[in-house]
Structure 1
Amino acid sequence: MFRVDNEKCVGCGLCIEDCFVKDITFIKDKAFIKNKDCIKCGHCIAICPVNAVSTDEYNMNEVIEYDKETFHVKSDNLLNFIKFRRTIRKFKDKEIEEEKLLKIIQAGRYTPTAANVQNVSYVVVHDKIQELRELVLESLNNLAEKIMKNSTIEKELKYARIWKMMYKVFKRNPNKQDSLFFFSKNIIIITSPNELNAGLASSNMELMCNALGLGALYSGFFILASQNSDKIKKFLNLEENTKIVNCMIIGYPDVKYLRTAPRKESSIKWM
């Protein structure tokens, strides 16, 4: 439950004004949280000027006081940081430290979710990458065979040929070439019943990858394979209603970029 310490509360009403679901009221000039419609967003904790609000549902030791020196990011620096990120397909043969992996997941954990449901989960694959790779390539190969039998669309046939070749190369020698995971040391799979929540988390996680000196690749091939294979979901030990939304292939980049890359002009409608 969320609680207000009446000894600390000064009755300023800031938490009441900021509570979107109107779950806080005044009782004898002190804020009182009803805990009926509360979505546990923590705004009341964050806004209280005297630190009078707490909860036993989260770890209060994780709450950090705002400090401009360590919290503020200049907008131009942030925009340049976003512009400079690149999709990485060439990784060094170097292990990723556990603390960095945990920090990447923290970036996902603190990303907003609709109605604050916090229903994004993560699967970190390291030791079983080759096993997972075989399942993914097997699924893509099966999909390729279906396409070749039933489709006349050249783009679909092009990918079908690529997938069959990837599977053939893997079966011949799993350690010679890897056009799926690119010999990455770690894969993070982001799951959620809500695609938007997982997508937003993934974006922040990739930014954290870059901030840690790592690189990332979103694998569309993996997503497609997982949608057509119960074996992959079983291998990852996922619950039935959980959806694989993103697969981030991460590692230390074995490539150095010297500048940003151009993009199309924004399509904007001013109303």
Structure 2
Amino acid sequence: MEFLDLAKKRYSVRKYQNKKVEEEKLLKILEAGRIAPTAANAQPQRLIVVREEKGLEKLHKCARLYGAPLAVIVCANHDSSWKRPYDKKDTSDIDASIVTDHMMLEATELGLGTVWICYFAPEVLREEFNLPDNIEPVNILAIGYAEGEDALPDRHDTMRKPIKDTVVYETF
């Protein structure tokens, strides 16, 4: 599949089948995250895989998973992330986002659905999963088999702004 076709195929799944994600598929998704580029190759991502009922119950205390049987809590280690020397910008949130995107697209390639969740109670998540102070939960990636019809790939023709509205050349 060409990359743009894959990217257009991916959509936010908000209803999942009651079917576990196979171990082989999970490992491919995690490998996609592992090989994702990070600033200065610092690799500050820390991933918490949640697939057992007890862990999913803990996640339900702070986030909506839409019935997904698997979630990856994507965290960033501020102690190991690269900081831009000019203004000390910590790139850990950018790195975690790139890792999440790689995993999300690999899941799509494997026939799985995902939804990127940023609407969660970080303090509850931090407490439930024993996160140390230097580890920040950035997002949660819910993963599973989608229930219902897939979104149409051509939806981007009407749901996305045209390039002319988002791109400038040479200077703003």
The interval holding the TM-score normalised by the smaller chain is 0.7 to 0.9
Q: Note if 1:120 corresponds to 2:45.
A: yes
CA distance in 1, matches of 2:48, 2:115: 16
* AA aligned opposite 2:148: V
TM-score, normalised relative to structure 2: 0.80
CA distance in 1, matches of 2:146, 2:16: 5
Largest Rg, 1 or 2: 1
Question: Identity over the aligned pairs, expressed in percent?
Answer: 31
Aligned residue pair count: 148
Shift, 1:240, TM fit: 1.3
Structure 1 segment 102-251 matched on structure 2, within 5 A: 102-127=27-52, 128-134=55-61, 136=62, 180-192=64-76, 193=78, 194-222=92-120, 225-226=121-122, 229=123, 231-251=124-144
Larger fraction in helix: 1
Q: Does the Cα contact within 8 Å between 2:58 and 2:128 map onto a contact in 1?
A: no
What are the ranges of 5 or more consecutive residues in structure 1 without an aligned counterpart? 1-72, 138-179
* AA aligned opposite 2:68: S
In the alignment, which residue of structure 1 is the partner of 2:147? 254
In the alignment, which residue of structure 2 is the partner of 1:93? 18
Q: What's the secondary structure of 1:243's corresponding residue? A: strand
What are the ranges of 5 or more consecutive residues in structure 2 without an aligned counterpart? 79-91
Q: Which runs of 4+ in 1 moved over 3 A?
A: none
User: Deviation per CA, 1:99-125, whole angstroms, max 9, x where unpaired?
Assistant: 211211111110111111111110011
- The structure whose RCO (Cα within 8 Å, separation 6+) is larger is 2
Shift, 1:258, TM fit: 6.3
Please report the RMSD computed on the Cα atoms of aligned residues, expressed in angstroms.
1.6
TM-score, normalised relative to structure 1: 0.52
CA distance in 2, matches of 1:236, 1:187: 13
